[in-house]
Amino acid sequence: MIVVTGGAGFIGSNLIAALNLRDRRDVILVDDLSDTAKIQNISDLTIADYIDKDHFQKIVNSSGLPAGVEAVFHQGACSDTMVSDGRYVMEVNFEYSKSLLRACADSEVPLIYASSASVYGANGPFVEAAENEHPLNAYAYSKTLFDRFAFAEGAYPASQLVGLRYFNVYGPREGHKGRMASVAWHLTHQYFESGSVRLFEGSGGYQAGEQRRDFIHVDDVVKANLFFLDNPKESGIFNVGTGNAGTFNDVALAVINACREIDGETRLLLEEALHQGLLGYFPMPDGLVGKYQSYTEADIGRLNAAGFSNNFLDVGEGVGRYAAELYSKLQTPN
């Protein structure tokens, strides 16, 4: 039996889909379905059981993990970086995670959990080391604190413990996230609705749209999770990114050209998209000033050293494929 917390969310639902492709249907899906939009993420999945998040925490705190659990993928979290209720964020992201860690340690069950590249703050370096951790918001702080708690000296569980610091993940099953969905999702919707897209103006010393992030397709993130399931002797904190930063302009152009191709129109260069008014810029919201990562690029040396080697999808291919799938669905009436 495999537990996936946040199993109705973005990465969790894609992970269960991948487990199903491995003929693993003995999955306990743990989540909070107060937001029924997440039902769309899981309606095509096969699971053994569903347990509400709060109920699952009570079970774990009172009697430990259910019998027969062989691994826990902890993907559940409050991932909204703009939430101002720090108490809520710490309860969901830190206290809940500690409960799972103790239960997994007691049962000697592997725990593979979602950390975040947000722990590195605005400037990096993006290398897995405590001196590089500079969280800028409650979400990032909760992730940083749990990483430190989980890997504190003397707290290491008898079984496998893996923290995966995700960089900018995009891909299918993220529509429920709303404003926290990926830039690729937002730009594709913008293009469908208006025939053009907009990005933030320059920030952090970067020109408009030239801010750089390590954009990674959710399929590659899932592969990293399953790699550690298949290699139970590997433990530690690992960056999960492509190792190559791309610009927001790269993402925008990939979206524009994917949509234009579906519409039977020719592909454009960046200068042509700008000249034709298909790409524009707007000021960064005040709430993001000073809290925005204008550059991220994962150092994936530790991930590679663990034995994981994957031909990551680059921005052009990954975003283009995703935008084409999403745009086609938007054009198809329900």
pLDDT in tens, 8-36: 999 999 999 999 999 999 999 999 999 89
The tokens for 232 are 């139970």
Task: Name the average pLDDT for the chain.
Answer: 93
Residue spans of alpha helices (H) in 108-179: 138-150
139 is catalytic: yes
pLDDT tens profile 170-201: 999 999 988 889 999 999 999 999 999 999 98
User: Is residue 80 over pLDDT 90?
Assistant: no
CA distance 99 to 248: 38
Q: Which of 139, 141, 166, 295 does the annotation list as catalytic?
A: 139
pLDDT tens profile 197-216: 999 988 878 899 999 999 99
Asked if the domains at 2-169+215-240 and 178-213+245-296+313-331 fall in one CATH topology, the answer is no
State the pLDDT at residue 82: 64
Q: What does the domain layout of the chain look like in residue ranges?
A: 2-169+215-240, 178-213+245-296+313-331
User: Is residue 234 over pLDDT 80?
Assistant: yes
State the pLDDT at residue 293: 77
User: Is residue 81 over pLDDT 70?
Assistant: no
pLDDT tens profile 279-328: 999 988 777 766 677 899 999 999 999 999 888 999 999 999 999 999 99
Contact 302, 228 (CB under 8 A): no
177 is catalytic: yes
The tokens for 47 are 């699971």
The CATH code for residues 178-213+245-296+313-331 is: 3.90.25.10
pTM here?
0.94
Which residue in the block uniquely carries the two structure tokens 């039902």? 39
Q: Which of 177, 223, 291, 292 does the annotation list as catalytic?
A: 177
Assign domain 2-169+215-240 to a CATH class: alpha beta
